[in-house]
A and B are shown apart, each in its own frame.
Chain A
């Protein structure tokens, strides 16, 4: 189970500010490239080589390997670009919502319904 980043002011939120944008630049640049099918194919062929091409740090490569969405955010990933990596893994927003909040997909969806109806 991951924990909140103590450098972030709002619990459960990773504000993508200048510090994070600098830290995650290579990671986000790689994910930005996934807009192109040719880049997705190249990544799938050899993920490590592709990460190296974009200068990812060891911790970022580890988070990519482990499909650790929270880890990617903590390493400077922006959700807008991390989502493109998730798309490459065939995961949608509800899938990664469940992963990040530590629930099953069904639990996550049920939580959304409760909140959407104003129950909580």
Chain B
């Protein structure tokens, strides 16, 4: 079986890409944010995962509202980034893992998750910013990525409990894959923020820190929230927490927090970073 070695959460906002492009990491505004990342980069360089399963949300690059998948998975050998309309520098192609992707897709549909299965999929900052953050200089060509996209744009959106269950099912699929490859899970986006409406600029530091605690210790607590609860507590785009919840669903057994950073605001957002390992139950 493939080995799930751990998980990372990170923000994915476009301003991070611009800060890296402009080499602003050491400026007073950005330093408290970027200072969180070296321990996670070191862990990735030591553990050398072969594959990253990355939960993100598309921001209107690949998917338009003519057809809006609730859950989508990429099954391609390669994914391309593209202009999103804001002048963010595009990044080199991302390598896929087609065979494991198809295995996961088959397993998920058998388990009742009706995925949209994508042989072509432009990936936006939701996916590329985390890769740039983890491998500065975009030196990620050695790692294969499986994109899992969750609708956070148009209601109805999948609820936290459903996203957690999706993570559980993906964990089961990975574990049933006949390979000794090492897989790490990324949950991206969040935490509290609101971009639209008179309430733009909503942030909730206390809630964000509670979420990070619960994500480690008692993730089922987070699945009790509805998406509307998240909007009321943390702002309209706090629904992106669903990608972190899905990530957590993949982990099993005792979960250990190896590293944490939280800084707000970054752009309009509460930016959290977690590095988690889990103690897999022994194979029977």
Contact = CB atoms under 8 A, between A and B. Distances in A.
Contacts of B235: 13
Contacts of B65: 21, 25, 28, 78
Interface stretch (A48-56, A58-66, A92-100): A92-100
Contacts of B198: 2, 4, 11-12, 70, 100-102
A32 B155 contact: no
A17 interface: yes
Contact of B203 (A9, A87, A96, A112): A112
A6 interface: no
Nearest to A9: B228
Contacts of A79: 195-196, 236
B197 A87 contact: no
A84 to B, nearest CB: 4
Main SS class of interface, B:
loop
A93 B195 contact: yes
Contact of A40 (B15, B85, B231, B270): B85
B199 interface: yes
Contacts of A35: 60-61, 82-85
Nearest to B122: A35
Interface string A7-23: 00111111111100100
A34 to B, nearest CB: 4
Interface in A92-120: 92-94, 96-97, 100-102, 108, 111-113, 115-118
A25 to B, nearest CB: 7
B154 interface: yes
Given A28-B65, A93-B268, A87 B86 contact: yes
Interface in B188-206: 194-206
B15 A93 contact: yes
Interface in B165-207: 194-206
Given A83-B195, A108-B200, A116-B270, 17 more contacts: A4-B198, A10-B231, A12-B194, A13-B199, A15-B236, A16-B154, A79-B195, A79-B196, A79-B236, A84-B85, A92-B15, A92-B267, A94-B267, A101-B200, A102-B198, A112-B264, A115-B205
